[in-house]
Amino acid sequence: MKLGSFKKEAAHLGHIERVKALTRERFELSANAPILVSELACGSPGCPPLETAVTFWTSDITRHHFKVFKPTAQVIADDLPFRWMKNAIILPNEVGCDCC
């Protein structure tokens, strides 16, 4: 049994849920609005080793997306875009997204 691995995974899932809650609060999303939080490794020059990508959908099925250039465990509320930027982070459906 790998308890150390489980503890790390549980902690990571806790960070994912925390970032989801921060996103829901920041953008005043409903309780059932889908939010996807992913921690991604980046190998591009100048890119941080780990970054957090957040995608959420609003009730009108509009997709929004932003990245925080740090691991999920380090993301705080001040790292998220301002609420008034909600329309600026809309990702058109025809645009591909490398995170999801």
Which helix (H) or strand (E) element contains residue 14? helix 3-26
- Tens digits of per-residue pLDDT, 55-92? 999 978 899 999 999 999 999 999 999 999 999 999 88
What does each C-alpha distance from 64 to 1, 20, 59, 79 come to in angstroms? 40, 13, 12, 16
Domain boundaries, the chain: 3-89
- Cα(65)–Cα(62) distance, integer angstroms: 10
- Is residue 71 exposed (0-12), middle (13-18) or buried (19+ Cβ within 10 Å)? middle
- Tens digits of per-residue pLDDT, 13-38? 999 999 999 999 999 999 999 999 99
Q: Is the pTM for the entire model greater than 0.85?
A: no
